[in-house]
Structure 1
Amino acid sequence: MRLEGVELRRVTMPLVAPFRTSFGTETTRDVLLVRVVTGAAEGWGECVAMSGPLYSPEYTEAAADVLRRFLIPALAAAPRLDAYAVGPALTPFKGHRMAKAALETAVLDAELREQGRPLARELGAVHERVPCGVSVGIMSSIGELLDAVGGYLEAGYRRIKLKIEPGWDVEPVRAVREHFGDVPLQVDANTAYLPSDARHLARLDPFGLLLIEQPLDEEDLLGHAELARRISTPVCLDESITSARTAAAAITLGAAAIVNVKPGRVGGYLEARRIHDVCVAHGVPVWCGGMLETGLGRAANVALAALPGFLLPGDTSASDRYYRTDLTAPFVLHDGHLPVPAGPGLGVEPLPEVLREVSTATEWIAL
């Protein structure tokens, strides 16, 4: 392929309801989209960085800057252009995995569109639809939480994930378990606890949770391994897993019984597939996390979640979980599942009228 240019586009997407975690509350998503144009096709990628460096060191403005100044010029100078060449071309630049993932995804989308091949088939998917879970943010009251969970179960979601933090953990979990019975239930701490909280976190064990996600700091693999020995709830790692190498290390240390794969966090869908393969080789189940993606990112996540090692429902919710109007044709839940896109590349593209309405800035970088 020949790279003619790259468009960086900012869009603002209001959420249907505020989404609160231990990192803060999101009411809108300031999304950076990357569109690459080649001689034969164009492709889209979505950067999942937040507006501030709270979930990770990356944030939207920094992602746009590093793409503009370093990553896109490096890719343009590469001797060949295909998705597998993106990673090596960008290796000299440390970190910035979310920006790298957006650029790699756009190249991969363009390449597969040109060849008429779906992303799901390229990654090795074995399912035509995937079961969906939903992530429930921290609420202002138990009653509000129960109303939200009840609505999601009525909509057909196959698994409930509760965000927790100190002061909002045991009692919300108890309330959901007692009210809804044996619903598949897990919790996500987003690094909110300390190793000294192990005894407190063990109070979650009686509720039969599928897992507790990232309870400790992302760099504390040894702390997670020790916590895993002190509680019976399986420990799942999210922020700690940045590559296939870190996944292998976490598994070897006993720090992760389950792994949450977020493609943006690990540098793209090709590295996400490598993490999947490492986990499958070690008998560790994986599932696909979410970052409030639009339909572009959701399409790619659903394709990834159709791989054989994704044994738990992911945070691949329907479009209306987050957005009244999605960038693409909406993803609609059917019997608790979403269909895997079957068209070339991502299998979806932005709706022009919606894209115009939500865009706040565009920048064309000719190459």
Structure 2
Amino acid sequence: MTIPIEQIKLRRLKMQLKHPFTTSFGTMQNKEFFITEVLDNTGNQGFGESVAFSSPWYNEETVQTNYHVMKEFLIPLLRENDIHHPDDVLDVFSPIRRNNMAKSAMEGAIWDLYAKRRKVPLAEALGGKKEEIDVGISIGIQPTIDDLLNTVGKYVQEGFKRVKIKIKPNWDYDVLAAVKKEFPDVPVMADANSAYTLEDINQLQRLDELGLMMIEQPLAHDDIVDHSKLQAVMQTPICLDESIHSLEDTKKAIQLESCRIINIKIGRVGGLSEAKRIHDYCRAHGIPVWCGGMLEAGVGRAHNIALTSLSQFALPGDTAGSSRYWKKDIITPEVTVENGRITIPNKPGIGYEIDKDALNRFTVEEETFKM
């Protein structure tokens, strides 16, 4: 049965983060993004969220390129093709190279609409079985080690199951050692955001002394080969993030033994359907996965929660509660964390209602497309 899409709406939002977020690339205070909305012929609405940033520091996509690709290419493709199941969107969008975050923003809304039409939670529509998920916390680079320890201590008291520390050259071993000394029983991982090269191999090998859960994406954002060389001489598991854009990338990374863990980000891989395919392949090959965050607002956060309900998400993800990032989110109720866990909603679709007042308050532009 065809999913009858009658209308698509693109809303550009601008929201201020509660705290500046700093990585090896720089600092961000404001987040611009799109909320996508698809409407069927009976009034059901599906919502998605774009995760590209305003500048191309994470990958080549930006908020503006997402808008261009969605308006000029993806929406016309949806007009021209029947969608029977959200998985069909992968094939419909396949003539467009890359631009995975734009694709994901559109596909996510269709997944939400599909689940609502079936009157099932999005997690169930994806095949998830969990009733709750474990979550960790991602902490940006802090002004001092003392500031970092105070921040980590706060989140440990709140019960988060894992702490992710952003690192870069000259902000790595000593920082992580201080955290491990202060919190010896807390699982700690390091996220390098591609800040190193193989010339730093001795410094990276030192991290083996610390018993980290993993080090995420230490080398180039588009590399698989050098990570294989690094993993061969490190005990600490390497986790790939920016290098994995598809199931094909996943297969190559596993074959080359470039990593022992994979971070699945819905936007980075082009949507929930591809994320599920990567999950299934990793499950078949014994590779643990976890769900990374992109500073999402409530809609994107809800999609992450639904995806993490799948069985191979064996490690805590980055999907912290709404109040960690926003004074006011655009969903109700907001995502909350209790003792390091999030309960998966059992309402149809993403399981959260859109707070229309908040959505309107943060919207700076909107455009409607008849199908």
Give the TM-score normalised by the residue count of structure 1.
0.98
Are residues 1:25 and 2:27 paired?
yes
Instruction: Provide the aligned C-alpha RMSD in A.
Output: 1.0
Preserved contact between residue 90 and residue 273 of structure 2 (Cα < 8 Å): no
Q: Distance in 2 between matches of 1:100 and 1:219?
A: 20
For 1:2-81, list aligned pairs within 5 A: 2-40=4-42, 41-81=44-84
1:241 aligns to what SS in structure 2?
coil
Give a deviation string over 1:54-83, Cα, whole Å, max 9, x none. Answer: 101000011011100111001110034531
The Cα shift of 1:219 comes to 2.2
For 1:1-367, list aligned pairs within 5 A: 1-40=3-42, 41-329=44-332, 330-367=334-371
Counterpart residue type for residue 36 of structure 1 = V
Q: Distance in 1 between matches of 2:198 and 2:156?
A: 33
Preserved contact between residue 50 and residue 267 of structure 2 (Cα < 8 Å): yes
2:7 aligns to what SS in structure 1?
strand
Q: Distance in 2 between matches of 1:112 and 1:307?
A: 16
Give a deviation string over 1:206-251, Cα, whole Å, max 9, x none. Answer: 1100000000112221100000011111000001111111111101
Q: Distance in 2 between matches of 1:347 and 1:262?
A: 20
Q: Distance in 2 between matches of 1:165 and 1:332?
A: 31
Residues 80 and 305 (structure 1), Cα distance of their counterparts in 2 relative to 1, 3 Å cut: closer
Q: Distance in 2 between matches of 1:104 and 1:168?
A: 38
Q: Distance in 1 between matches of 2:20 and 2:219?
A: 25
Preserved contact between residue 3 and residue 81 of structure 1 (Cα < 8 Å): no
Counterpart residue type for residue 153 of structure 1 = V
Preserved contact between residue 217 and residue 241 of structure 2 (Cα < 8 Å): yes
Q: Distance in 2 between matches of 1:143 and 1:260?
A: 29
Preserved contact between residue 46 and residue 111 of structure 2 (Cα < 8 Å): yes
The Cα shift of 1:154 comes to 1.1
Counterpart residue type for residue 332 of structure 1 = T
2:67 aligns to what SS in structure 1?
helix
2:331 aligns to what SS in structure 1?
coil
Q: Distance in 2 between matches of 1:201 and 1:265?
A: 26
Counterpart residue type for residue 110 of structure 1 = L
Preserved contact between residue 166 and residue 193 of structure 1 (Cα < 8 Å): yes
Counterpart residue type for residue 154 of structure 1 = Q
Q: Distance in 1 between matches of 2:158 and 2:77?
A: 46
The Cα shift of 1:356 comes to 1.3
Preserved contact between residue 29 and residue 50 of structure 1 (Cα < 8 Å): yes
The Cα shift of 1:349 comes to 2.9
Q: Distance in 1 between matches of 2:115 and 2:311?
A: 21
Counterpart residue type for residue 54 of structure 2 = S
Counterpart residue type for residue 351 of structure 1 = D
Give a deviation string over 1:30-64, Cα, whole Å, max 9, x none. Answer: 01111111212211000000111110100001101
